[in-house]
Amino acid sequence: MASIKHIFNELHYEMVRKIAEGGMGLVYEAHQLGAGNFRKVVAVKLIREEYSAIEEFQNNFIGEARLVADLIHTNIVQTYHLGQVGGQYFMVMEFVRGVNLEQVIEQHRKLGKVMPVDLAAFVVSRVARGLTYAHNKCDRDGRHLNIVHRDIGPKNVMLAYEGDVKLTDFGIAKALDLMYNEEGKVIAGKDEYLSPEQANYAVTDARADLFPLGIVLTELLLGRNIFRSADRAQSRRNILTMPIPQFSSLRAEIDTGLEAVIQRALQRDRDKRYPSASEMLTELELYLYSDRYGPTNEKLGVYLKELFGVRDPVIPTLSPRAPI
């Protein structure tokens, strides 16, 4: 890391520590330095040197940065800058002081608990809110970008200790003129979080993000992904053919209103699924708020701090996954 520190110091970034590592990239916590002792905590996402030399990876990394640069929304991790140094591309991103949703699920499992139903629905509603914004995004010429994230899953949802919910990692997203895409030839996404159309190598639209969002909701409620198998091909077969259960029979606190949301999100025929993230968001919010005081960011933040034993004012940072 010494050489990376030296290189980035010249760019006015003080590399603090590596916080995550993936097959193709690394993520560091860093301080962006400026005049007058200015210091801002950021995340630096760095493509590995061996992949930086491959044009396909370069183009996708650049495409992701260009795509997310204008995705400015409270429920999406912000990207500030794309740079190149020593032959490697890097992105400077918002640093979320908190945990990803996979860590939340694992912590519940470790403690023998399940997430409260209202907070699970709230988290997913915030992801739906971010997706609504992304799916409706147009470029500066007014052309609809037709963004499809294609990698909705717990690792790509960050929860700040203050209770903010943020979708991240648009690295395999599909968008007009921006991202490398071979739909019909390869499967984009993780086997246990695919939509049926992804598992069938079909061309996707925004509705493909809603089926895995339904999977995430059920995983938060049950503490497990019902489609996951040790065999990747079996996970895909489960997505395509496994009978969808009545989730209220698996957890009594799931009432008819939430059951209806889950069942519609998990329709294999996308014409029977929610037509948009906005409609799924609306139904989740009607479930949460129509007849009672519902959850808030602050309530979620208090719950997360209690779950992970975090005490203010010093908040430790748990490492997110490298979203590459």
Q: How far apart are CA 245 and CA 109, in angstroms?
A: 21
The answer to whether 70 is a known catalytic residue is no
SS3 of residue 18 by DSSP: strand
Q: What is the pTM of this model?
A: 0.92
Sheet strands (E) in the chain: 13-21, 25-34, 38-47, 79-85, 88-94, 98-100, 157-160, 165-167
Q: Which one from 151, 164, 191, 209 is the annotated catalytic residue?
A: 151
pLDDT of residue 1: 57
CATH number of 2-94: 3.30.200.20
pLDDT of residue 319: 43
Per-residue confidence in pLDDT tens, the chain, 324 aa:
556 666 677 678 999 999 888 767 889 999 999 999 999 999 999 988 888 888 888 888 888 899 999 999 999 999 999 998 877 889 999 999 999 999 999 999 999 999 999 999 999 999 999 999 999 999 999 999 999 999 999 999 999 999 999 999 998 898 877 655 666 666 778 999 999 999 999 999 999 999 999 999 999 999 999 999 999 999 999 999 999 999 999 999 999 999 999 999 999 999 999 999 999 999 999 999 998 889 999 999 999 999 999 986 544 444 444 444
Pick the CATH number of 99-308 from 1.10.760.10, 3.50.50.60, 1.10.1740.10, 1.10.510.10: 1.10.510.10
* Rg value, the chain, Cα: 20
Provide the Cα torsion 320, 322, 323, 324; round to 10°: 180
In this structure, the number of other CB atoms found within 10 A of the CB of residue 92 comes to 21
pLDDT of residue 2: 55
Domain ranges of the chain: 2-94, 99-308
